[in-house]
Structure 1
């Protein structure tokens, strides 16, 4: 089990949540293979990618409550990938080791990610989170995220927080396909406003 301040490790047994998560992901993976084998549409393949993250975030929220652990999702738009992190005793974000579902996942070509954080609570005057979770030297720009000095390079903070209360910070993540060889552009929108489950909308065809 994950404890705040300790490195998450794989336990000897499996909880019901872990078993359910594995079964769900196996189903999604099997569906993705079948889609490829039988020439499924790009829309179906894209939907399976959005559903994967939807399932993992929902289960991670339950896990955070059970283990009183602060988790987060870091989205790297330039690489079209995401991964999960946890907050250690020094208030630093670390990668979750020993759990493949939380490791880096890269979207297959030709799909892309677009993250919208316009509704984040810490960008408005009435902030939801205090200093404990965020370094005072945190700066966000179009070029990336920097924390503190260059001497001690740390993991960038997650844009999506999964709190020990089960709350997930507001976000909208679009899974995009720009169209090719006669296919129309399409995207799916994965959203959260407060508590899971996350809402998945699509397929949507309007340009992003």
Structure 2
């Protein structure tokens, strides 16, 4: 009787099932983050960059600020009697959130807002400027949040928002006067 070579039907089906399982694992890994994961990732990024900027302000004895729009944020610093866009470190440059995420800055109604000395200062610039941080020659607007060289930070809450499956996802990052920033989920607010 001649010896048969090749694969049995069972062996071929087993290989097809294994390839299918591996393919589904790869697709699930590259499918992207959920809205909750994206919001959390962006809040962590902001928290780390803000922490670095606040520590740099103290070390350099320099005043810094935060400028926020609906879908982006940037840091500025005070030099030669004007606010200037941050160029270094790269993480502190203007950052635009991925599509589907938005920001909302809360300044009023926080503890100590009425006694905050920064709110009593008359910060004025010669001309109004919109937040278009893509042009570094452009004069930045006044920051909404001040990060002082003394370690004091004007109180704020920054909400990172997303909508997924008709459900709002929110993460809040903020401080009352100093670092470290505190993160809150929507359940804790």
- Asked whether the two chains share a fold, i.e. TM above 0.5, the reply is yes
Q: Which runs of 5+ in 2 are unaligned?
A: 1-27, 129-137
CA apart distance, 1:172: 0.7
Does 2:182 correspond to 1:192?
no
Following the alignment from structure 2 to structure 1, what is the Cα–Cα distance between the partners of residues 113 and 139? Answer: 22
CA apart distance, 1:85: 0.5
- Distance change in 2, residues 1:73/1:149 (3 Å): closer
* Greater shift in the superposed pair: 81-90 or 113-122: 113-122
1:125-144 map, 5 Å:
126-129=115-118, 134-135=122-123, 138=124
Number of aligned residue pairs: give it: 153
Following the alignment from structure 1 to structure 2, what is the Cα–Cα distance between the partners of residues 191 and 84? Answer: 16
Preserved contact between residue 56 and residue 101 of structure 1 (Cα < 8 Å): yes
1:102-144 deviation line (CA, Å, top 9, x unaligned): 11101101011011110479973x451388x743xx4xxxxxx
2:101 counterpart residue number = 111
Does 2:163 correspond to 1:178?
yes
2:85 counterpart residue number = 95
Q: TM-score, normalised by structure 2?
A: 0.70
- Distance change in 2, residues 1:157/1:41 (3 Å): same
Q: Which runs of 5+ in 1 are unaligned?
A: 1-34, 139-146
- Distance change in 2, residues 1:162/1:196 (3 Å): same
1:32-181 map, 5 Å:
37-77=30-70, 80-90=71-81, 92-119=82-109, 124=114, 126-129=115-118, 134-135=122-123, 138=124, 147-149=125-127, 154-179=139-164
Following the alignment from structure 1 to structure 2, what is the Cα–Cα distance between the partners of residues 177 and 160? Answer: 23
CA apart distance, 1:39: 3.5
CA apart distance, 1:205: 6.2
CA apart distance, 1:71: 0.7
Computing the radius of gyration over CA atoms, which structure comes out larger, 1 or 2? 2
